[in-house]
Structure 1
Amino acid sequence: MLQIKNLNVYYGGIHALRGVSIDVKEGDVVSIIGSNGAGKSTLLNCISGIVKPKEGEILYKGQPLAKAPHKIVESGICQVPEGRIIFANLTVKENLYMGAFLRKDKDKIEEDLKGIFKLFPRLDERINQVAGTLSGGEQQMLAMGRGIMSNPNLVLLDEPSLGLAPLFIKTIFEIVEEIQNMGKTILLVEQNAYKALSVANKAYILEQGVVTLEGNAKDLLKDERIQEAYLGKKH
């Protein structure tokens, strides 16, 4: 579904991504793990069209990816940004409708809204509540729900568990699996390496803008280097 080949990104004199290549197969959850400043969010922002790479190629379904962010959304890619960036002064329902802003299929939008409330019952309970008054976990659910309302094939999730209480983290990763079960493909950027590897089919380790390791996520969970660097286990 998505192929990234030899991506190089600079912020001024900083070489943020260095020859990054990744493949995302349809229906998979692919996790990108790495510490702060590794280039994970930069990678997602390149796919979304927010950051322009200096070199490299991004193919979506075998074709060069559109350049304009709204065209990328129209093509079936949505990004749920880091930090739960919601419309704080709008209600839950209004936020969700904003996710469907580019869509014309009104009946399907209403059907998808019901699906969101099934996936996130808490949002249904707070349908008319102003989004800025929700808890952090509820805001994360809303950001994910709003993304799904664009009816994407590929969902880019940027640090969905960041700053959340353990109970909400568990819920968020259960929902990641539910989204995959809906037939969506997911590219997940996450600092919680254990959770990210537990839900993924494939994973990439990104360190200082370079892919240093890739493979089957379950195998990487058992890798001693990963356990020591990211899972806090010493050998």
Structure 2
Amino acid sequence: MLRVENLHVFYGGIHALKGISLEVNQGEIVTIIGANGAGKSTLLNTISGILKPKEGRVLFKGHPLPSKPFKVVELGISQVPEGRLVFANLTVKDNLILGAYLRRDKENIKKDLDRVYDLFPRLKERKNQMAGTLSGGEQQMLAIGRGLMSAPQILLLDEPSLGLAPILVQTIFNIIEEIKALGKTILLVEQNAYKALSVADRAYILEQGRITREGLARDMIKDSAIQEAYLGVKKQEEIIL
């Protein structure tokens, strides 16, 4: 469904992505895990058309993606950015409606708004509240809901658990699984490697701009090297699933 081929991306003189290749199949949750500065957000921003690669290409259903972000959204790819970036001076409802800005199917927009409210009852309770007054967890729910309002086929999630309390982290990952159950495909960038691998079908390890490992998430979460590097598990310990 989504295929990245030999992607090279630069920030000025910094070679941020160095020949990245990966694929996301329909109905999957695929996660990219790695340390700060590994290039995870750069990858999502390039797929979204925000950044332009120096070399390589991104294909969606076999066709190259356009370089304009709004065209990428029109095709069915929506990104939920790191840091949430909600419109603080607009209401919750207005933020959600803005997510459907490029759509013209008013009847289905209303249905999708109701579906978002079903997925996030707290947003329905606060639909007339200014987004800037929401808690961090509520703003993350709003950012995800706004992304869903474009009716995407693929949802790109950039660090959805960042800065959230542990109980809210679990809530967000439960919601990610519910979104998959709705038939959405998800590419998830996440520093919380354990949670990411727990919900994903497949995973890629990104280190210093290069993919160093890939495989089934259920296998990676049991791999001792990955446990030690990303899950905070010492060599003599083991995660029992």
TM range, normalised to the smaller chain?
over 0.9
2:157 match = 157
Superposed displacement of residue 66, structure 1: 1.5
1:204 alignment partner AA: Y
Superposed displacement of residue 67, structure 1: 1.6
Matched, 1:66 2:66: yes
Superposed displacement of residue 107, structure 1: 0.5
1:61 alignment partner AA: K
2:238 match = none
* Alpha-carbon distance in structure 1 between the residues aligned to 2:149 and 2:198: 26
How many residue pairs get matched? 235
Other structure's SS at 1:222 match: coil
Superposed displacement of residue 57, structure 1: 1.2
Note the 1:14-33 alignment, pairs <5 A. Answer: 14-33=14-33
Matched, 1:213 2:199: no
* Alpha-carbon distance in structure 2 between the residues aligned to 1:9 and 1:95: 31
Superposed displacement of residue 2, structure 1: 0.4
2:29 alignment partner AA: V
Task: Give the TM-score normalised by structure 1.
Answer: 0.99
Note the 1:7-18 alignment, pairs <5 A. Answer: 7-18=7-18
Matched, 1:103 2:103: yes
2:239 match = none
Q: Deviations over 1:50-97 (max 9, x none)?
A: 000100011101111122111000000000000010000000000000
2:89 match = 89
* Alpha-carbon distance in structure 2 between the residues aligned to 1:48 and 1:58: 10
* Alpha-carbon distance in structure 2 between the residues aligned to 1:195 and 1:103: 33
Note the 1:68-147 alignment, pairs <5 A. Answer: 68-147=68-147
RMSD: 0.4
2:94 alignment partner AA: E
Superposed displacement of residue 12, structure 1: 1.4
* Alpha-carbon distance in structure 1 between the residues aligned to 2:194 and 2:16: 25
Percent identity over paired residues: 68
Q: Deviations over 1:201-226 (max 9, x none)?
A: 00000000000000000000001110
Matched, 1:204 2:204: yes
1:35 match = 35
* Alpha-carbon distance in structure 1 between the residues aligned to 2:218 and 2:135: 32
1:2 match = 2
2:27 alignment partner AA: G
1:165 alignment partner AA: A
1:47 match = 47
Q: Flag structure 2 segments of 5+ consecutive residues without an equivalent.
A: 236-241
* Alpha-carbon distance in structure 2 between the residues aligned to 1:137 and 1:11: 31
Q: Deviations over 1:2-55 (max 9, x none)?
A: 000100011111110000000100000000000000000000000000000100
Q: Deviations over 1:108-144 (max 9, x none)?
A: 0001100000000000010100000000000000000
Task: Give the TM-score normalised by structure 2.
Answer: 0.97
* Alpha-carbon distance in structure 2 between the residues aligned to 1:234 and 1:13: 37
Superposed displacement of residue 234, structure 1: 1.0
Kept after mapping to 1: 8 A contact 2:50/2:67: no
